[in-house]
């Protein structure tokens, strides 16, 4: 799955271009940088590859979400509907702009349930934020219709879905804006980094300034820039952008390897009648970075995870129900509103209410789910070996359960 598995001469070439000039900051120093602007070059490649009108590179996927929420005028007291299964950065970004994360149930797409979204809308709702988890998509037609009906912003957190598509359009380019993360374990990586994508010039202009202390970038040098609004330092460095330039050209290769390995692994799992698979609103758009599968019960899923651990084959298999970073059940710091800085009373009240909120629908899904990440470095023999061992472990648990019954 992660692009770092394919590091090579492409990344070194772009890094050396930067090192030859010594200018690793994105802005300024136009003379000594000798025409080398890796961040600008990568933004143009993002627009070309993913089909968006504008792209703004930032220092992380979290910074991308924070930046675009500010550009979309999402702030104090606004409610943002998000899924119970995501990465912690999704709610961190919402809180950072003063808004309130409203978590709702997922369905077997492992993304937002449209029915749960509709039920959660209040007069304070401003944005719906689907998170395309584990490389695959939410039901974007349904969510677009909901947002249109209620005049809400549709913001895609596509940080885990680089290369995925929905009905021919890249995830992250379908809503009002979208984000990717380019951190070390994403499909393509800058080491650290992220990007905001949009087709709105106004949103892009605001993102451009917000990520660099409010600079308007219209002066002949940084010293003559004006500051039409407040901003922060979410800049990417030229070195990180250089790595991304080496990576983005490898995306077709990465997606091809993922699809092949995913298909081999699934061929073993689908032979087991008790296993079902994640629902995909557009199967052709799956990036194949994960294969997510379900056991009939939580007890069987937990037994399978325990058996794979005992056999030393658990690596790369994620049981999200017990994961500290990705599911609401384990986010005690969020539910207890533990923050180093004071947060608003509205935020605190909403967070403390999470402890008593019913997520039984999500629990029933996540407690049965295991996601297997698809490596790029596997040989074909290794994929077959992994599939056979996983299938054998699952069958052992199912046979034992049948005997006990």
Catalytic residues: 186
Instruction: At 383, list the tokens.
Output: 């994929």
In the chain the first and final C-alpha atoms are separated, in Å, by: 39
Contacts of 115 (CB under 8 A, 6+ apart): 107
**Which helix (DSSP H) or strand (DSSP E) does residue 81 occupy?**
strand 79-83
Instruction: Report whether 172 contacts 161 (CB < 8 A).
Output: yes
Six token digits for residue 122:
């209040």
Give yes or no for a contact between 97 and 66, defined as CB atoms under 8 angstroms apart.
yes
**For helices 251-269 and 380-404, angle between their N-to-C axes, nearest 10 degrees:** 30
Query: How many of the other CB atoms lie within 10 Å of CB of 31?
Result: 9
Tokens of 71: 């550009």
Work out whether strand 100-104 and strand 79-83 pair parallel, antiparallel, or are unpaired. Answer: parallel
Which residues 6+ apart lie within 8 Å of 2 measured at CB?
Answer: 184, 185, 186, 187, 189, 376
Residue 352 burial (CB count, 10 A): 13
- Buried (b) or exposed (e) across 200-209, using 16+ Cβ within 10 A? eeebbbbbbb
Tell which phi-psi region holds residue 399, choosing left (phi > 0), alpha (psi between -120 and 50) or beta: alpha
Reduced to 3 states (helix: H, G, I; strand: E, B; else coil), residue 130 is coil
Distance CA 389, CA 304 (A): 12
Q: What token pair was written down for 176?
A: 């009002």
């Amino acid at each position: 799955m992660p692009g770092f598995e394919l590091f090579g001469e492409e990344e070194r070439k772009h890094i050396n271009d930067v090192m030859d000039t010594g200018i690793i900051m994105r802005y300024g120093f136009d003379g000594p940088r000798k025409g080398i602007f890796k961040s600008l070059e990568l933004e143009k490649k993002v627009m070309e590859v993913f089909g968006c009108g504008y792209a703004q590179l930032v220092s992380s996927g979290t910074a991308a979400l924070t930046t675009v929420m500010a550009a979309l005028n999402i702030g104090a007291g606004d409610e943002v509907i998000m899924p119970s299964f995501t990465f912690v950065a999704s709610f961190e970004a919402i809180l950072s702009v003063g808004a309130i994360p409203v978590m709702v149930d997922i369905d077997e797409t492992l993304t937002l349930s449209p029915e749960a979204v509709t039920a959660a809308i209040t007069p304070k709702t401003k944005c719906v934020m689907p998170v395309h988890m584990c490389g695959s998509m939410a039901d974007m037609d349904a969510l677009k219709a909901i947002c249109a009906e209620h005049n809400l912003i549709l913001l895609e957190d596509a940080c885990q879905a680089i290369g995925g598509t929905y009905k021919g359009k890249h995830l992250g380019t379908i809503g009002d804006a979208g984000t990717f993360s380019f951190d070390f374990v994403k499909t393509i990586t800058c080491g650290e980094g992220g990007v905001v994508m949009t087709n709105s010039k106004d949103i892009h202009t605001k993102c451009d300034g917000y990520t660099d202390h409010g600079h308007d970038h219209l002066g002949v040098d940084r010293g003559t820039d004006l500051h039409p609004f407040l901003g922060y330092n979410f800049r990417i460095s030229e070195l990180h952008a250089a790595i991304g330039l080496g990576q983005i050209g490898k995306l077709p290769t990465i997606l091809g390897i993922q699809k092949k390995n995913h298909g081999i692994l699934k061929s073993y799992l689908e032979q087991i009648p008790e296993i079902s698979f994640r629902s995909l609103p557009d199967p052709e758009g799956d990036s194949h970075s994960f294969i997510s599968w379900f056991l009939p019960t939580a007890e069987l899923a937990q037994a399978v995870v325990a058996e794979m651990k005992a056999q030393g084959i658990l690596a790369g298999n994620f049981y999200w129900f017990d994961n500290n970073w990705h599911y609401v059940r384990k986010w005690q710091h969020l539910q207890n509103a533990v923050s180093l800085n004071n947060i608003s009373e509205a935020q605190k009240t909403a967070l403390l209410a999470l402890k008593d909120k019913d997520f039984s629908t999500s629990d029933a899904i996540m407690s049965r789910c295991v996601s297997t990440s698809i490596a790029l470095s596997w040989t074909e023999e290794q994929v077959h070996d992994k599939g056979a061992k996983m299938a054998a472990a699952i069958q052992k648990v199912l046979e034992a359960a049948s005997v006990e019954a």
